[in-house]
Each structure stands twice: as C-alpha cells, then as structure tokens.
Amino acid sequence: MDVGIPREIREFEHRVGLAPGGVHVLVRRGSRVFVETNAGAAAGFSDEDYKRVGAEIVYTTEEAYQRPDIILKVGRPQPKEYDLLGTGKILGCFLHLAVAPSSLVDVLLEKQITTLAYELLEDEHGHRTIAGPVSLICGRMCCQVASRHMENTMGGKGILLSGVPGVPAADVLIIGAGQVGRSAAEMFKGIGASVVVMDIDFEALQELEQYLGGSGLQTMVATKFNIQRVLKYADVVVCAVSVPGERSPIVITREMLSVMQHKALVIDVAIDQGGCVETSRPTTLGTPTFVEGSIIHYCVPNMSSNVARTASHLITNALTGMVRGFAEKGFVPTIKAHPGIRDGVVTHQGHLVNEAVAKSLKREHQGLEALGV
C-alpha cells in the first residue's frame, strides 16, 4: 500500500501527517511513501530527513494526493483540496464532520472516499489512540496558554497563576474530567493554582482525586448551579466536554458568562467539535483570542499545532502500527480484526457508516456490516 503525505494548507497548521520515523517503518515494510516537498518543514523535518529514510519527495500537491492509496493528513481537507481527492482513496485525518462544511461531506460521499477520523480511533482497550494523546498535549498547553493570556500585555487581568507569598494564586475552573481536563488539572495544580474540576461522571472525579488529590484541588458535580457558583470567582475557565462523533454540548451559556469577572479567561478546548461555550467561535494561532462581554475567549481548534514537532511525533507513534497493518494485511481485514479502528471509519463506498456522525449530521446511516465489511 502506497502512502501520501501532503503539505497542510490550512492557515497556522504546522503539524505533518507522518514524521520521518513513521516513514522509515513503512518503507522497511515495503510501502512507497510520497511526501510533498516541505510538508514537514514547519514541524522541523526537512525533505532530506524524509529522503534519508526512503521517502520519495514529490513536488506537486496533486502527486501527493493521486499517487498513493492512503493519504495521511492532520486537518480535514480544505475546499481547495476537494478536487485533489481521488475516487476510492483512503483518507486519515482529524475530520470532526459534525461541525464540518456540508460540502466536504458531499465530496467524501460522492467520491466514495474511505475516511479514518483520528478523533474516533480506539485501541483494543477502548482508549482513543490519537485523540487521547493529542488531548494530553492540549490539556498541558492550557496552563501555558493561561499564563500567557493572563498577562497585562496580552490584555489579561495581570495575575500570576501560582500567586506569591501574601497574594493568592489564581482560581481555575475545569469542566470535564477526561484526558484534557485531567492533564490540565495536573499542570495547573503543579504550578500552584487553586483548581476546581467538574464533571457529571462521579467515578471520573473519584479517579482524579485519587490521582491528584491533596491541597489545591477540589472536585464538584457539574450542575448548572455549581458551574455558576464557581464562574463568579474563577480567573480561568477550561472547557473540555465532548461527545465522540457529535457536536459538543453547550455547558456555559451567554447568560452564565455575565456573572464572570472582568477579563476572566475562557479556554474552549472543545471548539474543534463546535465548542461548549455559547459565545465561542473558532480562532487561529495568529489571532487566538477575542473579547465578548469583557470575557477573553481562547478558541483555537488546533492548539497542539503550536507545538508541531511534539504533536507530529505523537501522531506518528499512534498511527504507524495501524498503517503498517493496512499495508501488510489489507484495509478490510485489518478493520475487521480491530473494532477500535473500525469505529473510526466514518465514510465508506459512498455511505456514512458511523452512526453517531450520521445522527449529528441528520443524514442516512449505513453500517459497515451492510456493506460486507
């Protein structure tokens, strides 16, 4: 199976679909890997790095899309790339179709593209193979994002997260005790902030307390009453609530934001799935924040792109074994043998095969079983 790595054209997308280490593994297993020139440059990987491990450098985007059997990207295709998608190809990337343009869904179905949504792929234990580690990065980044945007020169309140003797630390509210919330709580607590984590899952809160318990961390059930109570004094709010394959639920309304302090900071990590704050809208790494109702909003969908080298290595670590399986055993036998990979297939042979995504898009669902897969 031949693999293509095109250069990402989305603004401020610095990650690359596969780092040289992953290419080396696939080439040794007999695959040809076509890497578009400068595809890895923003993440610190040169064309020479790829050549040394056996990749073929191609000099047009068309070649990176049309010569391989499977295309590995990071972000979902942009409108300019729709025509490059060849009929019957396999495409792997972060799709988030629940909040994608309907025109992309139409193209994927019309061209019978088989898509692997990175946000849905799981291993045999039910852990998100790619989304989980990327969420770990995003959670850890929340602390440094908050540190930066609480500074006066960034328009913030002028608060040091850790506080100093005689001056209290910042108050941080994290909604969602999943991978993002857990890693964010660890970092904020580590720096000395006062942290409250909320979730509707009591067991998740118990596990978090067992893992991070001690001074500086409190857990609460995520009711509207509790959220509003903490919003009144929180300096930083991290929103990390998501439902696989569906749009994120709104957990903070515009009305609820009105009780917050002037220049408080909201980091909506769920913005790649629509966001869970009513006032959120996608921003970019170039202009990552906006102010609404005196509240600073940070809503960058691809925030891990700002640490592109780390993120690209991480995606490669999670992806290489799966793609090697496709190359050695074939696509269909591999997904039949691995239910977690199967769950990440969203479109196949012109059909939406993921029930949650189809429901979110209000489109017809056709299971893989009915297609003989």
In this structure, the number of other CB atoms found within 10 A of the CB of residue 288 comes to 20
- pLDDT score, position 286: 95
> 152: which DSSP letter?
G
- pLDDT score, position 123: 85
- pLDDT score, position 101: 94
Of the pLDDT bands very low, low, confident and very high (cuts 50, 70, 90), residue 182 is very high
Catalytic member of 199, 235, 272, 343 = 272
Asked if the model's pLDDT at residue 125 lies above 90, the reply is no
pLDDT in tens, 46-80: 999 999 999 999 999 999 999 999 999 999 999 99
Query: CA nearest 179: which of 120, 134, 117, 122?
Result: 134
Q: Is the pTM of this model over 0.75?
A: yes
Task: Please compute the mean of the pLDDT values over residues 182-205 and round it to a whole number.
Answer: 96
Task: Please compute the mean of the pLDDT values over residues 107-117 and round it to a whole number.
Answer: 97
As a whole number, the mean pLDDT across the chain is 95
Task: Please compute the mean of the pLDDT values over residues 201-205 and round it to a whole number.
Answer: 94
Catalytic member of 14, 24, 96, 351 = 96
| Highest mean pLDDT (candidates 24-28, 211-215, 369-373) | 24-28
- pLDDT score, position 245: 85
- pLDDT score, position 127: 85
Asked if the model's pLDDT at residue 344 lies above 90, the reply is yes
Active site residue 24: no
- Give me the DSSP letters along 283-307: --SSS-EEEETTEEEE--TTGGGGG
Query: CA nearest 326: which of 104, 89, 125, 109?
Result: 89
Task: Please compute the mean of the pLDDT values over residues 157-170 and round it to a whole number.
Answer: 96
Asked if the model's pLDDT at residue 254 lies above 90, the reply is yes
Report CA torsion sign: 67, 69, 74, 78.
Answer: positive
Distance CA 3, CA 64 (A): 9
Q: Which domains does the chain have, with CATH numbers?
A: 3-128+307-371 (3.40.50.720), 131-301 (3.40.50.720)
Active site residue 272: yes
Asked if the model's pLDDT at residue 156 lies above 90, the reply is yes
